[in-house]
């Protein structure tokens, strides 16, 4: 019985168990032995099931939208909050303790578990805003989680104004910070060359106007003295070749964007002035 539940992602209805040959007394025995948990009337879960998936099942559907993206290992900009649940076209909400769920009623038949990645991205486009969608889309692509056919389906399925975000997206964004920075600078009309290899310097995240290197440091690099030294060596090598370098971290890109914007605009203006002079 637990094998069957594993195959269903950990959560099943009684009728699926019975259809597969389980008897009601097997289910009762499994619950008593704590091999299986009762989610609600007629729905059972393995104790190892992700608690968020369990909450979505209590609510009546699949973990969806940004909650599914996070569960699937995709970069999600917004901090974890209320669970998003896909109920399908006809699914109805079940009352459960402490419910703060956000309902999704996209077409289709929801079961339990985690909504597929492509649908979760489309749900996020309708629910979570442009930046959250774009960052998650690039992250999913970068991790090799959406193939060409899936990307085409997503482009067809998102609202019209999101199609240009799909067109702007690339496969080589290593972090959500890079995606966010590129999207925000593109809104200012600043195009960036991405993952540029510069002889004597190495691969840099971005180059703007052919002269300005922009690097985005992920959280994992904080406080490492050897990393800091490597950055200084790279910056010096780049300066010797005539490049200027700006570096931004998570806190700046996410929480203090105006500072980033002013720095980039001022440096680009200075570089243009230098060329003219
Ligand atoms: Zn949502
Ligand atoms: Zn709920």
C-alpha of residue 142 to centroid of ligand 1, in Å: 22
Ligand nearest to the CA of 56: 2
Phi/psi for 215 (5° steps) reads -115, 140
Ligand nearest to the CA of 58: 2
Contact 60, 91 (CB under 8 A): yes
pLDDT at residue 7, as a whole number: 83
Residue written as tokens 């091999």?
35
In angstroms, the CA 14 to CA 8 distance is 12
Please list, in sequence order, all residues whose beta carbon lies within 8 angstroms of the beta carbon of residue 171, skipping any fewer than 6 positions away. Answer: 138, 141, 142
Q: Which residues of the chain have pLDDT under 70?
A: 219-223, 275-277
Ligand nearest to the CA of 106: 1
Phi/psi for 217 (5° steps) reads -95, 125
C-alpha of residue 90 to centroid of ligand 2, in Å: 16
Helix, coil or strand: residue 54 = helix
Ligand nearest to the CA of 103: 1
Both tokens of residue 131?
């930046």
pLDDT at residue 20, as a whole number: 86
pLDDT at residue 276, as a whole number: 53
In angstroms, the CA 145 to CA 101 distance is 26
C-alpha of residue 99 to centroid of ligand 2, in Å: 4
pTM of the model: 0.90
CA 209, 212, 218, 220 torsion: positive or negative?
positive
């Amino acid at each position: 019985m637990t094998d069957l539940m594993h195959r269903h992602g950990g959560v099943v209805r009684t009728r699926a168990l019975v259809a597969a040959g389980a008897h009601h007394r097997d289910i009762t025995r499994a619950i008593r032995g704590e091999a299986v948990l009762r989610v609600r009337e007629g729905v059972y879960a393995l104790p190892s099931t992700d608690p968020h998936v369990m909450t979505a099942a209590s609510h009546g559907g699949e973990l969806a939208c940004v909650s599914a993206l996070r569960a699937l290992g995709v970069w999600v900009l917004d901090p974890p909050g209320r669970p998003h649940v896909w109920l399908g076209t006809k699914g109805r909400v079940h009352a459960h303790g402490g419910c703060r769920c956000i309902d999704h009623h996209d077409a289709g038949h929801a079961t339990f578990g985690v909504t597929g990645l492509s649908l979760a991205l489309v749900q996020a486009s309708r629910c979570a805003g442009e930046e959250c969608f774009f960052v998650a889309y690039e992250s999913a692509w970068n991790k090799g989680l959406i193939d060409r056919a899936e990307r085409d389906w997503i482009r067809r399925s998102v609202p019209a104004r999101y199609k240009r975000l799909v067109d702007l997206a690339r496969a080589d964004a290593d972090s959500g910070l890079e995606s966010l920075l590129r999207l925000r600078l593109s809104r200012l009309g600043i195009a960036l060359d991405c993952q540029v290899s510069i002889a004597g310097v190495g691969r840099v995240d971005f180059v703007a106007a052919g002269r300005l290197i922009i690097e985005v440091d992920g959280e994992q690099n904080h406080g490492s003295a050897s990393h800091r030294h490597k950055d200084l060596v790279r910056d010096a090598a780049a300066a010797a070749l005539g490049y200027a370098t700006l570096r931004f971290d998570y806190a700046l890109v996410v929480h203090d964007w105006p500072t980033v914007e002013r720095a980039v605009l001022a440096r680009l203006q200075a570089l243009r002035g230098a060329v003219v002079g």
